[in-house]
Amino acid sequence: MTTVLDGILDGVREDLAGRQATTSLAELKARAGDRSPALDPLPAFRAPGVAIISEVKRRSPSKGALADIADPAWLAGQYVEGGAAAISVLTEQRRFGGSLADLTSVREAVDAPILRKDFIVTPYQLWESRAYGADLALLMVVSLPGHLLADLLGLTRELGLTALVEVHTAEELERAREVGAELIGINARNLRTLKVDRSVFGELVPLMPPGAVRVAESGVSGPEDVGDYHALGADVVLVGEALVRSGDPSGAVAKFIAAAREPLG
């Protein structure tokens, strides 16, 4: 049975083949070598309170168009002004409306660590991430069978990137633990069906390996959701839709951060 994720990955591989035909791996390696060393997000992620990864996200497969983001650099600057610990930039074009140009634009505008959010399934994409200025790269366990997860995690370390290893089930979390992931995201959205179940975080977070930084993904509509995730053990919360639709991205980030300091009602 073909899933939503299968369809996304088919498109990602097709688009990737087009980029590989125009930009060689050798060229990417040269560009990556010219970059300053990647920024380390983990100290900020491990600090007291909750860290927010704020996302530049135009649309999604589940919600369609979210926001008309004409200037990703401006939006990223607003996020940093509000206190975001890192910026996530969607670079998948077909379903999310993103691009590597967005990543370049944000990199030139902010000094905060930047996560390249995409469906990464090959080493080429990791070299691409570093060449375009990313500091972190998303590795989704669900789309990396066999030794591919360990191989790509090893390459992120060689490149100085920090891998955000994303899981949705206990089995995926066990695979993340086995390869020694330090930064683990629990996604409340099932990428095979696109359904969101926020209880997934509470069920999986006790299974996290000791010392891992715990990231909550999806299911955030307001500050109270950030507070709930933090109360369950999240060190970091990744937020996209609620921020791009807020009308006040800087103020919204600040409210999300403050929510972790407020007592639960």
Catalytic residues, which ones? 55, 57, 117, 166, 187, 217-218
User: What is the enclosing helix (H) or strand (E) of 185?
Assistant: strand 183-187
Handedness of CA 15, 20, 22, 26 (dihedral sign): positive
Please answer whether residues 105 and 126 qualify as being in contact, where contact means their C-beta atoms are separated by less than 8 angstroms. Answer: no
By three-state DSSP, how is residue 236 classified? strand
Distance from C-alpha of 160 to C-alpha of 86, rounded to nearest angstrom: 16
The length of the chain in residues reads: 265
Please answer whether residues 229 and 200 qualify as being in contact, where contact means their C-beta atoms are separated by less than 8 angstroms. Answer: no
Residue carrying the six token digits 């967005």:
102
Please answer whether residues 162 and 42 qualify as being in contact, where contact means their C-beta atoms are separated by less than 8 angstroms. Answer: yes
Distance from C-alpha of 18 to C-alpha of 83, rounded to nearest angstrom: 37
